[in-house]
């Protein structure tokens, strides 16, 4: 019947809608508002989209609601609901681990010292090239499971541990298979410019990305063999410089990809200025951003995707989140899950954002939902609990949503729903 619905979460103490007006993202003071509805109910239709989100007493006056039948009818009394979390930056496809480097870093080695002595990305590339597509798929699926258990329902996911056309294509095929098979939505990113392969110059590596890897990736995309939304570059001293990054991103832009890259992380590189010039969608890290860079990103609505796990694990100063928000840069958050920062939990990232980067809890939630979705150009269907968007919902075992961030490390998540279906208890 047309009065049958997939899911009702009823009488929640709080439903944090984040937005109620279909705004595509928030910046400045607006980042501090999250639209909380008390004693509220969410209804998701058979197609997986939200049909109603309102106070239970208001819905109870409507005839359609009184006559409705729900396949899954959940009493959410004493619990809170937030939108499915969106992880704006991850590297989930790799084999091997670098726990030995964790110990070296604790003993004082820097990221670049480890990189230059053959560890870091180079080590992971060797392990990942040697791994089969099946093995990488299994690893990636397991990581998506763990992200989902922590409330993530949309994730940006990079290639980048292949660094040649065949290996990058293998990683992108893994991402497509994971995307097609897993409940978590995936926005794949081509990161052939993640590092300079051993024995090559940066100029040759950049040329390889533009003239060999990218054409192969675009052809595979056009043939439906892989999905690619975004292009990324590790723009950093000793990796790709300003003009190489400019060339790679411009080629990606010409191929119809969103520009979403690593910049101003360990050294100031004018990444923010470059991103603004090129019309980038997002720039990640930004620990070393300049005042001019902040102004350029604010003016051009370039998303700053901040990754508090990086500064934490490398013991460096975090990015100036407060200054960026107050200057009007739209801010998103990501876990940066990778072998250097082994974090799959957005609630922990939100905790770090609040404690180490002085973001308010509301700002952290907006950054981890609506703004992360918008940084991936997916806020039409993700990032807030609004009629017409996917019914992606995190049910929190507390009447106050803030416990999601306050209860460090093991977030009190009772259930996660994707498109109105129970995806994780």
336 part of the interface to ligand NIG, by CB under 6 A: yes
Of 87 and 336, nearer to Fe ion (C-beta) is 336
Q: Is the CB of residue 151 less than 8 Å from the CB of residue 404? A: yes
| Residue 258 beta carbon to Fe ion: minimum distance, rounded to whole angstroms | 16
3-state secondary structure (DSSP) of residue 380: coil
Does 189 engage in binding with ligand NIG (CB under 6 A)?
Answer: no
What number of other Cβ atoms are within 10 A of residue 105's Cβ? 18
Q: Which of 19, 49, 244, 338 is close enough to bind ligand NIG by CB under 6 A?
A: 338
C-alpha–C-alpha distance, residues 3 and 142, integer Å: 37
Whole-number CA gyration radius for the chain: 21
**With respect to Fe ion, which residue has the nearer C-beta, 65 or 161?**
161
92 contacts ligand NIG (rule: CB under 6 A) = no
Q: Which is nearer to Fe ion, 16 or 154 (CB)?
A: 154
Q: Which is nearer to Fe ion, 344 or 396 (CB)?
A: 344
Distance, in Å, from the CA atom of 223 to the CA atom of 337, rounded to the nearest integer, reads 29
Footprint of Fe ion on residues 316-355 (CB under 5 A)? 336
Distance between CA atoms of 425 and 423, rounded to whole angstroms?
7
**Does residue 105 bind ligand NIG (CB under 6 A)?**
no
Decide: 72 and 5 in contact? Cβ < 8 Å.
Answer: no
What 3-state DSSP class applies to 107? coil
Q: Which is nearer to ligand NIG, 49 or 124 (CB)?
A: 124
Confirm or reject binding of residue 120 to ligand NIG (CB under 6 A). Answer: yes
Instruction: Spell out where 308-363 has E strands.
Output: 331-333
| Contact criterion met (CB below 8 Å) for 197 and 164 | yes
3: phi then psi, degrees, rounded to nearest 5: -110, 20
For position 330 contacting ligand NIG by CB under 6 A, the verdict is no
Question: Of 90, 128, 189, 340, which one interacts with ligand NIG (CB under 6 A)?
Answer: 340
Residue with smaller CB distance to ligand NIG, 59 or 233: 233
Q: Does 262 bind ligand NIG (CB under 6 A)?
A: yes
- CB atoms under 10 Å from CB of 11, counted, come to 17
**Residue 288 in the binding site for ligand NIG (CB under 6 A):** no
| Residues 122-181 interacting with ligand NIG (rule: CB under 6 A) | 124
Q: Quick one: what does residue 310 bind among Fe ion, ligand NIG, none, with the CB cut-off 5 to 8 Å set by partner type? A: ligand NIG
- Nearest to Fe ion by Cβ — which residue? 336
247-286 residues near Fe ion, rule: CB under 5 A: none
Nearest CB to ligand NIG, comparing residues 289 and 404: 289
Q: What residues does 224 pair with on adjacent strands? A: none
CA–CA gap between residue 161 and residue 154 (Å, rounded): 21
Residues found near Fe ion in the complex (CB under 5 A)? 336
């Amino acid at each position: 019947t047309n009065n049958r619905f997939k899911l009702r979460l009823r009488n929640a103490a709080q439903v944090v809608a984040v937005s109620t007006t279909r705004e595509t993202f928030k910046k400045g003071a607006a980042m501090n508002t999250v639209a909380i509805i008390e004693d509220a109910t969410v209804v998701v239709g058979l197609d997986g989209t939200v049909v109603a989100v309102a106070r239970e007493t208001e819905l109870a006056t409507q005839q359609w609601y009184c006559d409705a039948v729900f396949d899954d009818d959940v009493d959410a009394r004493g619990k809170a609901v937030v939108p499915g979390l969106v992880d704006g930056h991850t590297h989930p496809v790799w084999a091997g681990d670098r726990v030995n480097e964790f110990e070296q870093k604790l003993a004082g080695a820097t990221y670049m010292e480890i990189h230059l002595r053959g560890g870091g990305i180079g080590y992971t590339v060797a392990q990942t090239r040697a791994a089969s597509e099946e093995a990488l798929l299994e690893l990636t699926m397991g990581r998506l499971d763990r992200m989902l258990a922590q409330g993530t329902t949309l994730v940006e996911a990079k290639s980048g541990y292949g660094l040649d056309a065949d290996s990058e294509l293998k990683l992108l095929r893994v991402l497509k298979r994971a995307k097609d098979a897993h409940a978590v939505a995936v926005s794949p990113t081509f990161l052939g410019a993640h590092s300079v392969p051993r024995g090559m110059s940066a100029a040759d590596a950049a040329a390889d990305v533009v003239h060999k890897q990218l054409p192969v990736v675009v052809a595979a995309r056009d043939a439906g063999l892989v999905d690619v939304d975004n292009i990324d570059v590790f723009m950093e001293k000793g990796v790709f410089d300003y003009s190489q990054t400019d060339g790679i991103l411009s080629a990606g832009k010409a191929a119809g990809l969103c520009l979403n890259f690593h910049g101003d992380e360990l050294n100031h590189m004018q990444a923010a200025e470059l991103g603004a010039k090129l019309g980038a969608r997002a720039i990640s890290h930004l620990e070393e951003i300049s005042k001019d860079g902040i102004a350029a990103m604010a003016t051009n609505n370039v998303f700053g995707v901040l990754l508090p796990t990086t500064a934490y694990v490398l013991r460096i100063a975090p990015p100036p989140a407060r200054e960026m928000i107050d200057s009007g840069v739209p801010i998103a958050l990501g876990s940066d899950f990778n072998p250097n920062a082994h974090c799959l939990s957005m609630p922990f990232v939100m905790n770090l954002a609040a404690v180490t980067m002085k973001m308010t809890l509301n700002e952290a939630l907006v950054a981890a939902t609506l703004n992360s979705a918008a940084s991936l150009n997916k806020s039409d269907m993700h990032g807030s609990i609004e009629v017409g968007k996917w019914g992606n919902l995190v049910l929190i075992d507390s009447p106050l949503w803030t416990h999601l961030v306050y209860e460090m490390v093991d977030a009190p998540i009772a259930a996660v729903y994707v498109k109105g279906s129970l995806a994780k208890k």
